[in-house]
Structure 1
Amino acid sequence: MARTPFVHLHNHTEFSLLDGGQRIPDLMKRAADLGMPAVAMTDHGNLFGAVPFFLAARDHGLKPILGAEVYVAPGSRFDRSVDARRRPYYHLLLIAETDEGFKNLVKLVSAGYLEGFYYRPRVDKELLRRHAAGLIATSGCLSAEIPVLLRARAYEEARRVLAEYLEIFGRDRFYLELQDHGLEAQRTVNEGILRLAEETGLPLIATNDVHFLTREDHAAHDVLICIGTGKKRNDEGRLRYSPEHYFKSAEEMAELFPERPDALANTVEIADRCRVELDFGRHHLPRFPVGEGEDLASALRRRAKEGFEARRAAWEREAKAGRLRHPLTDYEARLEKELDTIVEMGFPGYFLITADLIGEAKRKGIAVGPGRGSAAGSLVAYCLGITDIDPLQYDLLFERFLNPQRVTMPDIDIDFCFRRRGEIIDYVTEKYGRENVAQIITFGTLAARAAIRDAGRVLDLPYPEVDRIAKLVPEAIGTKLSEAIEEVPALAEMYRRGGPERELLDVAMRIEGMPRHASVHAAGVVITPEPVVEYVPLFRTNRDEITTQWAKDEVEKVGLLKMDFLGLKTLTLIEDCLASIEAAGLPKPDLDRIPLDDPETYELFGRGDTSGVFQFESSGMRDILRRLKPQKFEDLIALNALYRPGPLGSGMIEDFIQRRHGRVPVTYPHPLTEPILKETYGVIVYQEQVMQIASVMAGYSLGEADLLRRAMGKKKREVMEAERERFVAGAEKRGVSRRDAERIFELMAHFAGYGFNKSHSAAYALVAYRTAYLKAHYRVHFMAAQLTSEKDHTDKLVEYVAACREAGVEILPPSINRSGRYFEVEGDKIRFGLAAIKGVGEGSVDAILEARRRLGRFESLDQLCTEVDRKAINRRVLEALIKSGALDELGDRAALFAALDGALERGARAASDRAAGQASLFGGGEGITAPAPRPPEVPAWSDRERLAGEKEALGFYLSGHPLDEHAERLARVTTHRIAELGAAGEVAVGGMISGLRRRRTRAGEWMAVFNLEDTTGHVECVVFPKLFGEVQDRLEDGAIVVVAGRAEGGEGEFRLLAESVHSLEDAPERAADGLTIVLRADGAPVPIERLERVLESYPGSTPVYFEVVRPGAFRVWLEAGSGHRVSGGRELIGELRRLVGPDAVRPGRPG
C-alpha cells in the first residue's frame, strides 16, 4: 500500500515558550521515522528556533520549512485601547516560500515585538501588505480571524476578511486550513471552510495544530501549560489542550480527512514550493574606518607593529634581568606569523574593531581586564592592547585561539568594569549606528532542580517536600535528573517506591531542559554592517531592551560579529580600591608594573586569606591554597585550571600538590614531554599541553594539534582511531616506540577531557594576583572596595563585615554628614556608605550629597527635609536613614521618628513656597534655615528595637548584635559559626530563628523550615516531622536556639538537617572532652611554632589531640602534653582553623 503523502505545516516547537512541547531533535527523528519528506516550524510570534530547526532538519534528511504563527491586531498594531483589549489579536499562519519571504517574515516578527507588542507581539494588515512577498498564508486555527468569524456564524464577514487576505497575499499564496482535534467548534469552522473553498475555488490544506510529539506526551505538556499560565493541574477553567494535538502520522491524518485527500496532498505541494536557504557561508563584519591609502590588512599590520615597539622596552628590561623566556627574535617571528594568518583568514577588521573599543574604554578610564579566554594566546592582541598578558612568556598558543585549519570567526571576550559596561555599549552604538547594534538573547531553561520545583507546584505537592527533593539533585551545572536518580541513593529509593514522588520525578524529567523564558545574554552584543534586522529577527524584553531572537551560537553561525562585553565586579572592586588609595594621599600602584614575585602576596595566598580575591575565595580553594603554598605565578595559573569538578574528582589536584612538595617524584610520560610539562610537575593540566605534545612527539602542526584536542574532548571514536594511527606513526618517526606512543596517546585523550584553556587561566590568574596584591598591601582600602562591590547582596556583606572585624578593621555606622555614596576609608576604619542602606536609592544619595556640598553639613531633621530635593527623598527613605543610624548626630532615633511627620510637612511647605517664588520669614537668604522645633520627648528605643531597626535598614546588625551578650555561652555549646560551614558534616550552630514556616507534609504531619542567624551569616534549617513534635514549643521567630545536625550542600548553598534543637540555656556544652587537630602527612607543612603560640594563648583543662593522616596509608593519634591543655572555646577553634584549615579542627577526641 502506498504511503499517504503528507507534511506537517503547523508545528509548535519548544520555542513556543511553555506552550510548545516538541524538542527539535525529537521532532526531527519522529518526522524522519514517519517517512515525511519535510517538516515545518511555526512557533508563536517568533523565529527563536529557526537556525537549530533548519540544521537539525538537514541532518535528518528533511527539508526545513520556516514559518511562524503570528499575532494579528484587529486594527492598528499601535492600538492599545480598551477596545483592543477585548480582542487584542488573532492568529495567522505564515510560511516562507522564498528567501525574500523569509526576510519579510524576519521583519514581521521583529516588528511584532518592537512596535506591536500588547499581550503578544502583534503585526497588522498594513505590515502584512508591506512584507507579503514570498510568504504563504493560511486561514489558521480556531484563534485565527476567519475561524473566529465562522464560529460566530458571521459567514459574510468571514468572506470579506478572506477577500482582504487574498488581496494581501494573492490567490496562489493563500490556503484554507482544516483541523480536527475532536472539538465541536472545529466541526462548525470546518463546515464554513469547506463552503468557502467551494465558493472561491481556493485550495485546502489539512493540518494538526501540533504542540507535543506523541499522545503519551499530553500529560507532560499539560504541566508545561500550567507552568506558563501560573495554574495548578486541578484548577477549574484553565487552558487545556486536547490529547489530539500531537505529531500524527500521514495515515492518521488521512483517517481524519478521508473525503479530502487533496488537503493532504496540498501540504506536500507547499513543501515542494518552499526554497529557503539560510546563509552560513559568509561573514558580515561592520565597516571599520581606516586612513587614506590603507586597507584593513595594512592598517592592522601598522598598528600591531606600533604596539610591538611600545612593548619593546619592557621586554628588553625583562631580558636584561634574565626573566624573559624567549629572545626578541622569537617575538618578531611570532608577530609576522600571526598577522599573516589573520589577514589570510579575512579577520583584520575584527582585530581593529576590538582594539578600538578597548582603547576607547581605557581613554575613558574604564577598567578593562587583561584578557579572557583563548585570545590571551595572541601576540597581535597583546600588541594592540586587547590583552595584557605576554603569550610567549607563559607558552600560550595562538592556534588555540585562531586556527587556520578551522575557519571560524575569532571570539574575543572582554571584561569591563561592571559599573561602566553600559558606556561601552553606548560607544559601539554611536559609532556603528543604533540600528546596527543589538544585544543577544538567551533562553533560561528548566534545569533539573527548577523542573522539580515547577512540576511540584503544578501537582500541588507541599513545597518543603518538593524543595527537599530538588536539593537532593547535585549542584553541578548540567546535571540531568536521570543521572541524579542513578547517582543519589535517596532519589533512587524514592523513584523505586513509586507514589507521588515518582510522578513528580517523571513529570520533571519530561519537561527538564525546556526553554522557560527569554532574556538578555549577560554579555553578548552583535554589530552588523547594515541594520541588524536585515540579518536576524529582533526581540524586545520586558525591560525594553532590544535583542536578537537568535542565541549567540546561531548569531555566529550566520556570520555576524558577536562580541562579549562582560561586566566583571572584580574590576570595579580594583578601580574603587585604587581610587580609595589615591583619595588617602597614598601613591597609587601601577598594576601593569607590579612584580609578579611579591612575597607578601604569595604569603596571603598561602594562608588562604583570599576572601574577595577573584576566583580564589571559595572555602575549597582556600584549603587547597593552604596545602599547596603557591610560590610563583605559574602555580596560580595551574590552580585556576585545576580547581574544577573534573580534576578535583579525578585526584589530579592531589597529585599536583604531592609533586609540588616533592613527596611524590616528578615523572614524565616521555623525555620529549619534559620541557612541556615541567612547570606543572609532570601533570597534564592544560589543553595547550596536549597540543604541544602532539606537535613535539608526532609532528602535528599546532593547528592540526588543536583539531586533535577538540576530537579528543568530544570523544568521536572514528576520528580518534584515525588520529591514533597518525599519532603513533608520527611518533615512531621521531624514535618513540609504538607501545610508548599508544600509551601517551591514551594519556592525552584522558587528560583532554580535564584539561583547561591555559590562556584563560593565565589571564584570570593575573586578575587574581592583582586583587591579592592590593589586599596584601592596602587591606583597609581593599576591604572598603570589597564591601562596596557587594552592597546589594546582604549575605556577602555580612560575610565581609565579619571578615573586617576578624582583621581588626572597624566598620563605622552610616552618617548623614560623613558617609559618601559607597564604603569609604576613614583613617584605619571603614565608613558605611549611604547607597548600601536598604531603601535609599542612588537618586536619593545624589540629592543628599548635592545638598550637603551646598550646606556643608546637616544640623537637623528639618533642614534635611527642607534642603534636599523632595522628589528624591520621602518618608520611606528617611525612615531607613533613621533606623540605620545615619541620622544619629541629628538626634535620638525614637525622637527623630516621632518628629518625622512634622518635618516632612514643613519640608513640603518650603518646597511649595520655593516653587511659588516666595520666601518664608526665615527663608530667602543663602544658607539661612528656619530654626528646628524642639524634638518631641519620647522614650528612647530599647536595644532590641534599635538593633531590629538596623537589621531592617542594613540587612544585618551593625552597632551590636542580640547574640553579643550570649557570645561566651554560644562558644561553649556550638562547633561552628555559620560562616565556617565550609564542608558538609555533623555540626552544632547557634543563633536566632527568623522566617519560621510550619508546613504539613503530604502525609499530614507537621514540619518546620527556618533561617538560623548568628553574627557571621545565616543558614536554612529543616526540622522533619519526627523531631518537630519534640521541639515545636522552642520554635518561634526571635528565639535563640542551638541546632545540631548534618550540614549538606556545597559552596554558598548550605542547609542544616536538624537532629536536635535546644534552647540556649539547655544546650549541651561541646568540646569539653577534647580538641582534635588533623595533620595530613601529605599536606603542606604546618607552622608548628605559630600553632604552639595559639594553643598557649588559650590555657585551660581541655586535652589537645593530633590526628596524623596519610589517606590510604595510615592514621595515628597523639595527645599533646599536659602543658598544652586549652580552654577549648570557639574563638580558639576559629583561630586554629584559619591556621591549619577549616576542616582540620574539630571539638572532641579522635575517632
Structure 2
Amino acid sequence: MYLNNHTYYSLRYGTYDEQSLIDLSLQCGVKHFVITDINNTSACLNFVRLCTLQNLKSIVGIDFRNDNKQLYVGIARNNLGFQELNSFLSDHLHSKKTLPDRAPIFKHAYVVYPLERVMEMGIVRLRESEKIGISTASIRKLIFTKYASYKDHLVILQTTSFRNKRDYNAHRLLRAIDRNLLLSQLPEDQQGHPNDKMIPVEELQEHFKSLPELIENTEKLLQQCSIDFNFDNAQLNENQQIFTENKEDDFKLLSQLAHDGINLRYQDVVDKTAIYERIEKELTTVKRKGFVAYFLINWEICRYARERNYFYVGRGSGANSILAYLLQITEVDPIDLDLYFERFINDYRTSPPDFDLDFSWDDREDITQFIFKRFKNTALLGTYNTFQFRAVIRELGKVFGLPKSDIDKLTSGQLPAHEMDDMHRLVFKYGNLIQGMPNYISIHAGGILITQKNIHYYSATDLPPKGFATVQFDMHIAEDAGIHKFDILAQRGLGKIRDTVSIVKYNQPNANIKDLRACVKEFKEDPEINAMISQAKCIGCFYIESPAMRMLLSKLRTHDYLGLVAASSVIRPGVAQSGMMREYILRTRYPERRKQAHPIMSSIMPDTYGIMVYQEDVIKVAHYYAKLDLGAADVLRRGMSGKYRSREEFKAVEKQYFDNCKKHGRDDKQAKEIWEQIKSFAGYAFAKGHSASYAVESYQSLYLKRYFPLEYMTATLNNGGGFYRPELYVHEAKMCGATIEAPCINNSDFQNTIKGTTIYLALGYLKELEKRTIQRLLESRNFDGPFNSFDDFINRVPISADQAAILIRINAFRFTGLDRCILLWQAYFKLNKKTAVDVQSKLFAPQNKKVNLPQLKTSKLEHAFEQMELLGFPLCSHFELLAQQPDNDLTHKDLPSKKGKTITIYGYVINIKTTHTSNRKRMQFGTFLDRDGGFFDTVMFPQVASKLRFRGSGIYKVTGKVVEEFDFYSIEVTHMDKMDYIQDPRYAEDNPQTIHRLDKQTSLRDRRLGNSTGKRSDEVNMN
C-alpha cells in the first residue's frame, strides 16, 4: 500500500534505517511496499538483501525532487527498471541540472505524480506507465478535478518519513542543518508533513473505502513489481566476467601467463614439482569460483603500471596466491613463505577475494583514468560520512541559536549538569538520536567497481570533483552483492622509492643502483640492511619508522625478512590489545617459553610459537582447535570486522565455537581465553601475505636508505615525509652526512634538491611565498641562467616587495655576500612597494636606485628565528637557542648505565602519542631527540599525566626513572618542564639592526608570530 517510503539515506531528511522501515511495515501489517529515498539509492541493495533474509518481496524506486519539491516517484518494475531510474537520476546528478517537471518514458518503471503536481502541470494524457498518486490529504481534492475520471491511473501515494513525533522533530532539525538556518527560520516547504507516518494497513484502507479502485490499482502495481540481486548466493560474481572474447579464452590466457611467469620467478629452482602443483590447484579453484577475469583485470592494471614505470605494491590476502606472484601482481613468493591460499579463495568462502594495489600518491590518478578508459562499466565505490557526536552537537547548537560560548562548552563536555537548561538538554537528546546517521556520500579510499552489467544496474552514481562516477553504496553492500572491488590505493612510500631512483641517476650518474624488483631476495640477505632493522635505524623507511615500531624491532631483535613480516602484523592493535604482543616477544627471545603454548596451537602456528599473529591464524584455530568447518571459520574471520559482528550468522558461529570446544573436551577457561584473543583482533590483524608485501617495500626502502641515504632523504622530504614532521627528516639527512642549506634562488627548486652532499631546501617550504612567485623565479632561471645579483633578480622577476622580503629574510640571496638587513632596505627603496605584474623581458636593464646604508650584520641566531618563522624549524640545533643551557650532558647512550636510577635529561620532542587505559585514564608517550641527535623515549602513566602536559614543540627537561624491557630503554616521567628559548633577537629593544617592516600589515603579522620568550606554540604530531 505504501509507494513512497524514506530512510535516513534521504540525506538530512529521513530518520531511520532500512531495517527499521521493514520492522515498521511488518508492525503495520504491510507486506509489500517500496523504498524510495529522495534522489538517492544508497539503501536499495541492502534493503533487497534484508527483504531476502526475511522472505519479503523487495520493491525499489526513487523519490525525484528539486530542492525538496516533489516532482514524481519512480518505481522499478524489475531490475531493468531500476537501471532506467538510476541512469536518469545519474545524468542529472552528474550535470548538476534540475530534474524535468515530467519524467521521461521508462520501459520498465512506473512513474507516480502527486495529484497536486498533475493539477499544476495540467497533464491531459497519461502514459500507460504513469500514475496519479492520491494521499489521505488529497482525497477530497480529487472529486473536484477532472482526474477523478482517470480511474485506471489512480493509486495511493502516502509518504512515510517518520515513526513518531520524535522522528519528526529530528527531521526538522536535519532540514535546518541542511539549509544552515535557525529552526525558527525553517520554511514549511523545506520540511515534511507531520502526518508522513506509516499507519496500519487497515486504517489506511479505511481512508480510501469510498475509492476501492485506488486500493485495487495500488495492489496491482505492487504485484507487478519485484527486484532481485541473488543475495542468497553471493558467489554469483557480478564483476566483469569476460576479459577477452569468452571464458574459455580467459582461462587459457590466465594459464599461459602463469606458466610464462615461472621462468621469471623460479628460474633458479631445480625441482619445480611443488610449483606446478600449486599452480594447478589455484587455477582449478579460481576457475570454479568464477574469478578468472578478476585476476586478468588486475594483471592488466599492473602491466600498464610497469609500462609507465610506476612503482606499485600488490598486497592484501591476494599475496597468498602464486598466480598473483607469477602475474607480477604481487612480489611475495607464497611457497617460500608457506602462505595459506585458502585465506584468499576457498570453496567455503562467500566473500570476494581481495587485491590491494598501492601506487605512488601522484601516479594513482593516471591509473584510475586508465581503468575507466579500459573497462566499460566502471565506478568508484562510495562511503558514508556520518554525523559525529561533537559535530552534530555543534550543528544543533547553531540551529537552536545557542551562543558560541555555550556550544564550545557543550562540544568539549565542559558545561556542568547544573548549568544546563532545557535547550541544552534538547541538543544532547537529539544529538544522540542523529549521531551515526549518514550526512553525505563520499568516495571510498581506493575502491573501484568493474561490473559485467551497466553500473546503473546496481545504483545511481554521483560525480564528485575528481570527475569519476561514484556509486551510492559502500564496500559492505558491494561484497554482499558479489561485486568485488578493486582497491587502487595511494601511498607516499612508493613515491619515495621512485624519486630516489631518479635523484640518484642525476646526482650520482655513475652509481650502480640495483633493480628494486629483481633484487628483493638479495636485499633480504644483505647483513648491513638487516643490521639496520635490528638496531631500528629505519627513519624514513616504509611502515617501520614509528616510535612503536622502533621499540618493537629493538625488543624482538629483528634481523631478517621473516622477522619483519611477523613484526608488521604484531604491531597491529589486534595482537597488541590481546596481550599477545608481549608473549610473542618473550617466546621469540626465550625458546624455553615456547613450551608454554598449547600443543594444538603450536602445531597450528609453529612459526609464531602458537600465537595468533595473522588473519589466517583465526581460520586455522577455529578449524583445528574448535573443529569448525572452513565455511564457519571464514564467517568468524569476517566477523573480526565490526560491521559483521552484529550479524546473526556471526553470533551463530560464536555459539558453535563454544559448543564445539565443549564437545571436544577443550578446557573452558582456555577456550574462552582463545575466543577473547580472536575477538581482540577486531579487523586489525594483517593477512600474512599482506605483511609480507609490506616487508618487501620496507626492504626496498632500507636498501635505498643504506646505500643512497642523502638521495633517499631528499625523496622522503619531497613526498611529504612520513610518520613525522619534515623537520625530523631534515635532521636525519644531517645525521646521514648531508649539509642542509636554506632555500636559495640559484640552487633551490619548488621541491628539495641535492647537489653532491648538499641538500637545498625547497622554495615551497616558505609558507607565505606564492606559487606564482616561485614559478616566475624558476622560469627566469631556467631560460636566462642563474641570477648574478639582487638587481639582476628584481630586473628579471616581476615581484612585489613583500614577496621579495620573504626570500631575503630566509637568506636566499646569500651568494651576493650582502647581509639580509641591507637587502631588505634595498628592496624597500628599489621595489617601492609596487605589486608585481607580468611584464615582457626588458631589452636593457633599468637603473635602480642606489642606497647608502651603514654596515649591518645579521647574527646566526637571527637567521635561526627567521627560519623558524618561515620554514617552521631552524637549521641549527634547538639546543643552541636555549636561554639557559642544560646542567648536564646526558644522552640516550647513557641510559643503560643509569638503569633503575632517576635522572634528568634534556630533549627536543618530535612525537607525542596520547592513549587511554581501560578505565579511560590518559597516558602519554613522548619521543625526543637528545643534544647529540639520538632518540630517547618516555612514558607518563595516568597519575603523572593528570598533572603534566606537553606544551607544544620545544625542548623539555625530563626527570624520571630509567627502565628497561627486552633491552629497550625508556624513562618513566615523574616531572617535566619546558625550557625557554632566548629572546628573539630580531625584536630586542637594544638591537641596532632592528629594521622597519616593509608595510604595517607585515610588521603586525611578524610580531604576532614572534614573542619575547621565543617559545614555540606549534602543535606536534599527535599520532
Per the normalisation by structure 1, the TM-score is 0.70
1:624 to 539, 543, 552: 552
Q: Secondary structure of the residue that 1:404 maps to in structure 2?
A: coil
Provide the C-alpha distance between the structure 2 equivalents of 1:337 and 1:94, rounded to a whole number of angstroms. Answer: 48
Secondary structure of the 2:593 match is coil
CA distance in 2 between counterparts of 1:889 and 1:66 reads: 72
3-state SS of paired residue (1:981)? strand
Q: Do the aligned partners of 1:32 and 1:60 also contact (CA within 8 Å) in 2?
A: no
Residue 90 of structure 2 corresponds to 110
- Cα distance in 1 for residues equivalent to 2:277 and 2:166: 64
How has the CA–CA distance of structure 1 residues 622 and 332 changed in structure 2, closer, same or farther, with 3 Å as cutoff? same
**CA gap 1:901/1:88 in 2 versus in 1, 3 angstroms:** farther
Distance (Å, rounded) in 1 between the aligned partners of 2:825 and 2:766: 20
Q: Which is further off, 550-559 or 282-291? A: 282-291
Decide which moves more: 854-863 or 568-577. 854-863
Q: Which residue of structure 2 lines up, in the alignment, with residue 91 of structure 1?
A: 71
The aligned counterpart of 1:546 is: 469
Equivalences for 1:351-390 in 2 at 5 Å? 351-369=295-313, 371-390=314-333
Structure 1 counterpart of 2:339, from 379, 390, 396: 396
Using the TM superposition, give the Cα deviation of residue 567 of structure 1 relative to its aligned residue in structure 2, in angstroms: 0.9
SS in 2 for 1:968: coil
State the distance in 1 between where 2:490 and 2:833 align: 41
Q: Distance in 2 between matches of 1:773 and 1:693?
A: 36
Q: Is the 8 A contact 1:581 1:587 kept in 2?
A: no
Amino acid at match of 2:586: Q
Q: Which has the higher contact order (CA 8 A, sep 6+)?
A: 2
Instruction: Name the SS for the 2:523 alignment partner.
Output: coil
Q: Distance in 1 between matches of 2:289 and 2:706?
A: 45
**Which of residues 498, 501, 510 is equivalent to 1:575?**
498
CA distance in 1, matches of 2:855, 2:55: 82
Quick one: which amino acid aligns to residue 759 of structure 2?
I
Match in the other structure for 2:62? 68
| Aligned-residue offset at 1:428 | 2.4
Which one of the candidate residues 681, 684, 690 is aligned to 2:609?
A: 681
Deviations 1:771-801 (A, max 9, x none): 344334443333222222227x998234544
1:413 matched to 2:387: no
Are residues 763 and 530 of structure 1, via their aligned partners in 2, closer, same or farther at CA, if it must alter by over 3 Å? same
Q: Relative to 1, partners in 2 of residues 1:355 and 1:1070: Cα closer, same or farther, differing over 3 Å?
A: closer
SS in 2 for 1:820: coil
In the alignment, which residue of structure 2 is the partner of 1:18?
12
Aligned to 2:373: 430
Give the CA deviation at 1:398.
1.0
2:678 aligned to which of 752, 760, 763:
752
1:628 counterpart letter in structure 2: L
SS in 1 for 2:689: helix
1:439 equivalent to 2:385? Answer no
Deviations 1:748-776 (A, max 9, x none): 54433345322212222332343344334
1:1076 is matched with 960
CA shift digits 1:21-68 (9 cap, x unpaired): 222222222222222112322222222222112222333443332111
Q: Which amino acid aligns with 1:134?
A: H
1:162-198 deviation line (CA, Å, top 9, x unaligned): 22xx44x33x631133254xxxxxx7x9636852433
Report the Cα offset of residue 565 of structure 1.
0.8
8 Å contact 1:32–1:62 — kept in the other structure?
A: no
Report the counterpart of residue 648 of structure 1 in structure 2. Answer: 576
Identity in percent: 24
Gaps of 5+ in 1: 1-6, 73-86, 147-157, 181-186, 317-326, 473-489, 730-737, 912-919, 923-928, 987-1013, 1018-1045, 1092-1105, 1109-1116, 1118-1126, 1132-1151
1:232 shift after superposition:
4.0
Q: Retained in 1: the 8 A contact 2:241–2:290?
A: no
- Partner residue in 2 for 1:596: 524
1:331 lines up with 2:258 in the alignment: no
Report the AA paired with residue 97 of structure 1. Answer: R
Which residue matches 1:780? 710
Question: Are the counterparts in 1 of residues 322 and 334 from structure 2 also a CA contact under 8 Å?
Answer: yes
- Pairs within 5 Å for 1:186-197: 191=141, 195-197=145-147
Q: How far apart are 1:334 and its partner, in Å?
A: 1.0
State the shift of 1:329 in Å: 2.6
Shift of 1:507: 2.4
Instruction: Give 1:100's aligned residue.
Output: 80
Query: Which of 259, 268, 285 is 1:305 aligned to?
Result: 259
Question: Secondary structure of 2:114's partner?
Answer: coil
Structure 2 distance, partners of 1:272, 1:439, is 34
**Preserved contact between residue 711 and residue 719 of structure 1 (Cα < 8 Å):** no
Q: Which secondary structure does the structure 1 equivalent of 2:160 belong to?
A: coil
Quick check: 1:979 aligned with 2:910? Answer: yes
Distance 1:228 1:697 in 2: 53
- SS at structure 2 position matched to 1:419: coil
Q: CA deviation at 1:276?
A: 2.9
Q: How does 1:157-236 map to 2 (within 5 A)?
A: 158=119, 161-163=122-124, 166-167=125-126, 169-170=127-128, 173-178=130-135, 180=137, 191=141, 195-198=145-148, 200-201=150-151, 203-233=153-183
Sort the Cα spacing of 1:138 and 1:879 in 2 relative to 1 into closer, same or farther, 3 A: farther
Q: Distance in 2 between matches of 1:457 and 1:721?
A: 47
- The one of 200, 208, 222 equivalent to 1:271 is 222
Distance 1:983 1:805, change over 3 A: farther
**Post-superposition shift, 1:535?**
5.3
Equivalent residue for 1:516? 439
Q: Give aligned pairs, total.
A: 923
Per the TM alignment, residue 983 of structure 1 is displaced from its structure 2 partner at its CA by 4.7
Relative distance call for 1:444 and 1:722 in structure 2 (3 A) is: closer
1:537-585 Cα distance to aligned partner (Å, 9 max, x none): 2211245442223333444554555311101111112222233333331
Written as runs of structure 1 = structure 2, the 5 A alignment for 1:336-355 is 336-355=280-299
Q: CA deviation digits over 1:88-144, x for unaligned, max 9?
A: 9762222222333222211111111123x14xxx33368x33x42232222338xx7
CA distance, structure 1, for counterparts of residue 716 and residue 284 of structure 2: 44
CA distance in 2, matches of 1:960, 1:896: 31
User: 1:781-860 alignment to 2 at 5 Å?
Assistant: 781-790=711-720, 796-801=725-730, 809-838=738-767, 848-859=777-788
- Distance across 2 between alignment mates of 1:939 and 1:106: 75
Match of 1:245 in 2: 196
Is the contact made by 1:658 and 1:664 (CA closer than 8 Å) also made in structure 2? no
Q: Distance in 2 between matches of 1:379 and 1:343?
A: 15
Assess, with a 3 A threshold, how the Cα gap between structure 1 residues 134 and 980 changes in structure 2: closer, same or farther: closer
How many Å separate the matches in 2 of 1:768 and 1:794? 14
Alignment of 1:885-964 (within 5 A): 885-886=811-812, 889=815, 892=820, 894-895=824-825, 897-898=827-828, 908-910=838-840, 921-922=843-844, 934=850, 953-956=870-873, 964=881
Is contact 1:896–1:935 with CA below 8 Å preserved after alignment? Answer: yes
Residue 1138 (structure 1) aligns with: none
CA distance, structure 1, for counterparts of residue 553 and residue 239 of structure 2: 44
| Gap change, CA 1:1060 and 1:353, over 3 Å in 2 | closer
Q: Give the equivalent residue in structure 2 for 1:123.
A: 99
AA matched with 1:968: Q
Q: CA RMSD in A?
A: 4.9
Distance 1:237 1:776 in 2: 66
1:1047 and 1:1057 in contact (8 A); partners too = no
